[in-house]
Chain A
Amino acid sequence: MAFLDYEYKMKISYSEPVDKCYFTIKAVPTDDFRQRNITYDIEMIPSTTFSESKDSFGNTQLIGCDNVPHSVFEFKIKGLVETHDLNISCGLEENRVGMYRHPHGKCIPGDCIKSFAEELKQEISDGDSEIQKCKKIMARLYEAMRYIPGSTVVETTAEEAFSKGEGVCQDYSHILICLLRMFHIPARYVCGLIVGEGQSHAWVEAACDGSYIAFDPTHNREITDEYIKLGVGRDALDCAINRGVMWGGGLQTQDIQVTVRKVH
């Protein structure tokens, strides 16, 4: 068990003023089997009223609209989460697990991923448990990819990243999701934070033996108590931390700072 003290800061600067901006923010940690919110505080500049609700994937969403002209938008959440050193994150919702079985959005395999899956078939036996299958697939994916910051963009699909052979945590997760689904293991994308400083992180939950087991393909390991889950979905878009529609704004630059520390 660990207590994690975290802060997520996002600052968007615009080259021209924004007259109006609708936002949906999914940055509040999930309460599940292996993690629990103790406290959290939210700050926004310009200061705006927003409402808190759940989306259809079970994520907390903050919804609102800034309608005073502004050229900088800042969002900050800080809080304390209790986590357990478990790879099991939660039970399956039997009614909804089916949505994580099929290709969707950024996780649609193309020729490269398909032929890789064919190769993997030789190495995976029917006797393997689902967890073993996940680990084997993750390990082979880890060998096949190179982690290169900035090599892909938010819009990059699993197939595009895999055909380049490089990417970041979002790409590793999208590719693993494609592969697991091809092996009939329902898999979903997780957006979250890990201990350290930098950016947000992404990993994968796979439905194995009646629970969701979390794998981090970027590090080729199962997750630990150093991970904070913020949201899940079929791909990155379903649980994007920030989604917005704005009027005006011109060019925008985004700066994200994440700090997560273990508290003793």
Chain B
Amino acid sequence: MKQQEQALLQHTDKINNLLARYGVKFGIYKNNVFKEQLFPFDSIPRVIEHSEFEMLERGLKQRVLALNLFLKDIYSEKKIVRDGVVPEDFIFASSGYLAECEGVMPVKGIYSHISGIDLVKGKDNTWYILEDNLRVPSGASYPMIARDLCRKSSPETFHNNKLVDNRDYADLLRHTMDYVNTGGHTVILTPGRYNAAYFEHSYLAEKTGAHLVTGSELFVENDYLYYISASGMKEKVGAVYRRISDEYLDPMNFNPESLIGIPHIYDVFRKGNVALINAPGNGVADDKGIYYFVPKMIQYYLNEEPILKNAPTYLPFYEEDMAYVLEHFDDLVLKDVAEAGGYGVVFGNTMTAKQKEDFITLLKAEPRRFIAQEVIDFQDLDILDEGEIVPRKADLRAFVLMAEEPMVWASGLTRFSRNPDSFIVNSSQGGGFKDTWVLYQ
């Protein structure tokens, strides 16, 4: 490790204390009880070389462009289905497909304004895409505030290392929201205080200058969306960065039981009178089943070879893949396409004979429900664990913002597993995070 970084390590506790004081927390529900826990910060950064980042940047832009074109196609002509590239079942049977979005075009045709793309770096030095998050990906605020605090506690580190300043995320986000704003205020819609990512909602609102609102402060009148300002004035809203999921967004169009949504907001969107960031219905493109088809989408829509690789994936839906999965069961990780956040993931080699038998019965009955992947032997990153430096599994969530063209934030959220035997890094499963440095040259 470089000497300059040593300075940062000495500040680990101080930074974690500051993060706690600023309320950098993660809320989780365990047995229906809401618990907030700190999101532990490890001060050894992940360092990405300049040339490596350039490659990632090109690959991520390409991927997000293709995913946006896919969404536009799926909710209109469905050429990719008609041309036999993606089987129809993978669209209509997906829980992320919303029939209510058929024929509705978001402002400027952008569906995924903010994409969180999860990657890992293999021991072969190759980066692999693990999953795309196109609904409401969270996490950008953690490296933002961590960098800020690190700069304050150890300014010399940032003087001595040639790394790209990542404090431009708020500007990129603001630009992304302004680009699709139909005229009026920009708001960040939060479900409220008891949401897992409430810290992030308030932090991003503060940094972008958007109003932080809950559903009860917004209302629809004559096909436009308004909010009541602190002074009681009725103000028009042109863009909503909504941090609530599709089903709760509008009780008149989606789940009628939703109490946190805004009646008719989706009808305002349908008329093109407000931008919803991200657009509803994106779940059809970040489903684990559709993941298999993303490299094919890149070829289909852009006529380019994919720059970034998927982890080798098998679809038991196809007979030859089912045969492979059954034969190599112990070497594979199996994922339920409907689950997220590290749930519904099982490793073939950890199952008992009985579990395996039951799983295979289920797999044969519902082949479309699962994907199987080779277990990627990904590189460990050093973390500081009670004063000792130890290797742990880590991934990277890269943020790609879409306005006139895609923009990749020169940073990202590096998450690691604190358990030495675990590959699962999700914060909801108790992992920690690191800053991600991108070097100049």
Residues of A within 8 A of B (CB): 22, 24, 49, 51, 53, 55-57, 61, 63, 65, 94-96, 98-99, 101-102, 234, 237-238, 243, 245
Contact = CB atoms under 8 A, between A and B. Distances in A.
Contacts of A55: 100
A102 B256 contact: no
B91 A24 contact: no
A88 to B, nearest CB: 23
B220 A53 contact: no
Contact of B99 (A49, A63, A94, A234): A234
B264 A53 contact: no
A24 B252 contact: yes
Interface secondary structure of A, over-half rule:
mixed
Residue among B88, B99, B100, B103 having the largest count of chain A Cβ atoms under 10 Å: B99
Nearest to B263: A22
Given A56-B104, A63-B267, A237-B256, A98 B92 contact: yes
Contacts of B256: 237, 243, 245
A98 B88 contact: yes
Contact of A56 (B102, B222, B264): B102
Contacts of A57: 99, 102
Given A22-B263, A56-B102, A245-B263, A99 B222 contact: no
B99 A95 contact: no
A22 B92 contact: no
A61 B223 CA distance: 13
Given A95-B78, A98-B88, A102-B92, A245 B252 contact: yes
Interface secondary structure of B, over-half rule:
loop
A99 B102 contact: yes
A53 B272 CA distance: 13
B252 A56 contact: no
Contacts of B174: none
A95 B97 CA distance: 14
Given A22-B252, A56-B104, 11 more contacts: A22-B263, A24-B264, A53-B270, A61-B267, A63-B252, A98-B91, A99-B92, A101-B88, A102-B92, A245-B251, A245-B256
A53 B102 contact: no
Contacts of B251: 245
Nearest to A103: B93
Q: Pick the 9 closest A-B CB pairs, nearest first.
A: A22-B263, A98-B92, A56-B102, A99-B99, A245-B263, A102-B93, A56-B100, A95-B78, A24-B252
B102 A96 contact: yes
Nearest to B100: A56
Contacts of B270: 53
B271 interface: yes
Interface string B248-285: 00011100100000011001001100000000000000
Contact of A95 (B77, B222, B263, B271): B77
A56 B263 CA distance: 17
Nearest to A23: B252
Given A56-B102, A56-B103, A95-B78, A51 B223 contact: yes
A180 B93 CA distance: 16
Contacts of A95: 76-78, 102
5 contacts: A61-B267, A65-B264, A101-B92, A243-B252, A245-B263
Contacts of B271: 53
Interface string B79-113: 00110000010011100010111111000000000
B320 interface: no
A65 B221 contact: yes
Contacts of A24: 252-253, 264, 267
A245 B263 CA distance: 7
Contacts of B97: 99
A138 B222 CA distance: 44
A132 B117 CA distance: 49
Contacts of A56: 99-104
A99 B270 CA distance: 19
A99 B93 CA distance: 8
Contacts of B263: 22, 65, 245
Contacts of A98: 81, 88, 91-92
A22 B253 CA distance: 12
A237 B97 CA distance: 17
